[in-house]
Amino acid sequence: MTEALIVIDVQNDFCPGGDLPVTGGDQVVAPINALMDRFDTVVLTQDWHPADHSSFAANHPGAQAFTEIAMPYGPQTLWPAHCVQGTKGAEFHAGLRTDPAQLILRKGFRAAVDSYSAFFENDKTTPTGLEFYLRGRGITRLTLVGLATDYCVAFSALDARALGFDVTVLPQACRAIDLAGSLARQMQAMADAGVVFG
């Protein structure tokens, strides 16, 4: 009763054919579905961006996707527009089980700041509310799966460890973007923070 499964951003735009596809992104659906019945608490997170989101390269004239700009809260990678509110791309993958989820947490809906982590916006101070939900249910241990390993999964895992949760990441139920070596860096960062890999 003290452990939760956190399923990160298994959405159409992060799967093949989407606007920001993660290689093999749809391959996480079956293993995640198989895991759900092992947990009393299941949370799904959902990227939910307005069309004018500041992380979209298209909203910075002349800027290219996958480059970096300075934002008030620090460096920000610019992405192709993705997971725009109300679009097909923002929907969960059709094969993903959603009925077992007690909570669907939308993030990234503030236009001025991106939100990789399920716990905080990228400014590292604005909470999503997930910590309070989990503590209210007596949850102390988290298992994280989903997309992408080196961004939203890793940022969520690192924040969860900083908040004092025990964290396991299951790499077989994740897939990575691996932008300029980001996967190796984030795997090391998670290991250094005490994240366990299952």
* Catalytic center residues: 9, 107, 152
Bridge partners of residue 175, in order along the sequence: 147
Q: Identify the three-state secondary structure at position 191.
A: helix
CA dist., res. 49 & res. 35, Å (int): 28
Which H helix or E strand runs over 120? Answer: none
DSSP state of 132: H
Contact criterion met (CB below 8 Å) for 195 and 161: yes
Question: How many Cα atoms are found within 13 Å in the side-chain-facing hemisphere of 67?
Answer: 10
Q: How many Å apart are CA 147 and CA 144, to the nearest integer?
A: 10
Say how many CA atoms lie within 13 Å of 31 toward its Cβ.
16
Using a CB cutoff of 8 Å and minimum separation of 24, what contacts does 66-69 make? Answer: 66/179
Q: Is 188 helix (H, G, I), strand (E, B) or coil?
A: helix
Residues 6+ apart with CB under 8 A from 127: 119, 120
